Chain A
Amino acid sequence: MRLSTFKTIVFSVLFLVNSSIVSASEKKEGDNDKKFDPKEMIMHHVKDAHEFHLWDWNGKSVSIPLPIILWTDNGLTTFMSSAFHHDDSGKEVVEKDGTKFVKFHEKIYQLNDGENAAVFDEKHNLINASKPLDFSITRNVFMMWVSVIVLLLIFFSAARSYKKSENNVPSGIGSFVEPLVVFVRDEIARPMIGEHKYKRYMPYLLTIFFFIWINNIFGLIPVLNGANLSGNIAFTLTLALFTFIITTVSGNKNYWKHIFWMPGVPIPMKIFLMPIEIIGMFTKPISLMIRLFANITAGHIIILALMSLIFIFKSVAIAPVSVAFSLFITVIEIVVTAIQAYIFTILSALYFGMATEEAHH
């Protein structure tokens, strides 16, 4: 069962990489003698996109169009990403509500008034356009909502299984979910925050644990085009921001005292420690943000880079090596999905525990 899942994952990765290579090689033909660029391919997969690309068929890209929502100077503008006809080089100009837009490297640009086409300088920078605020439902937002639906389905049916039973014994998916929930409570919240205060933070810790975990897992499923949500710095930034806000809001007198006037050390030391502690307030959530982002992105990059070897060496002989290594890394990544969710949650709990700890000197 598990082995076949791995097999599916590996072959899907192969399939996916293959399909993207096909599109890359097509581009190569178009853009003269450009070589296969692993960096471009990898970045394309790791970064966000405005359409949900599935596969290429007969030289045409098959994808789910997603809505593009822009806040321009003239107000809100919305249209579907299919209006760009899969163009990502700024050639296709879309006119909507009297404003012209182009898509270039997965960014939407608004052409300046009176311009009809995107103009680039020698360094491939757009010179006659500005960037509007982009609220588009991108690939990552789409996958995030899919993950929310999955989470709601899992936990609603789990909660229902408790209601149905008379003696609070779960059944079905509830009995699968309960050990995880109890794990978060007994191994994360209770030891880190303390017996008396942990209950307040349980909903946040549980939600963030399962939200990160499921998105880490979704990032590894190649059929979903590996939407790299938890490896996107905007996503980790937002979650770290939540932890930071909750920590700061729930900080008690003792917490602020430890930051601004460290008890138990001489006065010069207090003055010396104050800026360090203030910086520490911010480095904690920043480390959360970077850790999750870097770990997940790195995993994706390694798997894709190993696959790229086949195309860099232009040899089928290297394929077994690539597959073996990427299988190995994929297995590690499956473990990492849970570990990173656990680390994010336990560190958040630790910060909450520090913020609410009572003085006992």
Chain B
Amino acid sequence: MDLVTPGFGLVFWTGLTFLFLLLILRKFAWKPILGAVSDREDGIKKALASAEDARKEMQNLQADNERILKEARAEREGMLKEAREIKNKMIDDAKEEAKEEASKIVAQAQASIETEKKAAIAELKSQVANLSIEIAEKVVRDELSNKDKQVKLVESMLGEATLN
């Protein structure tokens, strides 16, 4: 029975000691320890969150890079295409110009040929006239005696000399 009868003295000292221990430990042990633990946990949480943010940013950056790369590629393609077009156009233009020039040259040539021809024809005509005069001189010299024959000759000669 003595074993289960609480002694008053021990109750008193236990109460006093426990209160003392509780107050001292609360101020000097539990507060700093729990504070440090929760601070550290917050720190870890924050670090994890910022790592997650960084990862997301990285992803964004990567996506951006991809996009920029794609754009650049498209731009290059466009530029190449444009260049090709310009090249083709230049070639075409050059061809056109050359053709025009050629036809111009040909036309000029034709024109000059025409004038040459005309000049030649004119010269020919004058030569023919000269020739006819010479012939006429010869015929006149030859046939001056025979009047009829003279006329006949002139006519026949003129008839032969057809102008082409």
> Which A residues fall within an 8 A CB radius of B?
43, 46-48, 69, 105, 133-138, 140-141, 144-145, 148, 151-152, 155-156, 158-159, 162-163, 167-170, 174, 177-178, 181-182, 185, 202-204, 206-208, 211, 232-235, 237-239, 241-242, 293, 297
Contact = CB atoms under 8 A, between A and B. Distances in A.
B40 A169 contact: yes
A199 to B, nearest CB: 8
Contact of A141 (B13, B30, B34): B13
B5 interface: yes
B161 interface: no
Question: What is the predominant secondary structure among interface residues of chain B facing chain A?
Answer: helix
A237 B6 contact: yes
A182 to B, nearest CB: 6
Contacts of A169: 40
B78 interface: no
A156 B29 contact: yes
A239 B18 contact: yes
B21 interface: yes
Given A46-B3, A206-B25, A207-B18, A237 B11 contact: yes
A145 B16 CA distance: 11
A135 B7 contact: no
A156 B26 CA distance: 11
A43 B37 CA distance: 45
Given A134-B9, A168-B43, A207 B4 contact: no
Contacts of B18: 207-208, 211, 238-239, 242
Contacts of B5: 233
7 contacts: A134-B7, A151-B25, A152-B21, A155-B28, A178-B33, A234-B8, A241-B15
Contacts of B22: 203-204, 207
Contacts of B163: none
A321 to B, nearest CB: 27
A203 B25 contact: yes
Contact of A233 (B6, B12, B43): B6
Interface string B110-145: 000000000000000000000000000000000000
Given A152-B25, A155-B29, A159-B29, A202 B9 contact: no
B8 A239 contact: no
Given A162-B32, A181-B37, A233-B4, A133 B9 contact: yes
Contact of B7 (A48, A145, A170, A203): A48
A103 B2 CA distance: 15
Given A141-B10, A168-B36, A235-B10, A211 B15 contact: no
A79 to B, nearest CB: 15
A233 B7 CA distance: 8
Max chain A CB contacts within 10 Å: which of B13, B21, B24, B29? Answer: B29
A82 B29 CA distance: 38
A207 B3 contact: no
Contacts of B4: 233, 293
Given A48-B7, A141-B14, 16 more contacts: A138-B9, A144-B14, A144-B17, A155-B33, A168-B37, A181-B37, A203-B25, A204-B22, A206-B25, A207-B22, A233-B6, A234-B7, A234-B8, A238-B10, A239-B18, A242-B18
B39 interface: yes
Given A47-B3, A233-B3, A203 B10 contact: no
Contacts of A162: 32-33, 36
A134 B11 CA distance: 11
A301 to B, nearest CB: 10
Contacts of A178: 33, 37
A207 B25 contact: yes
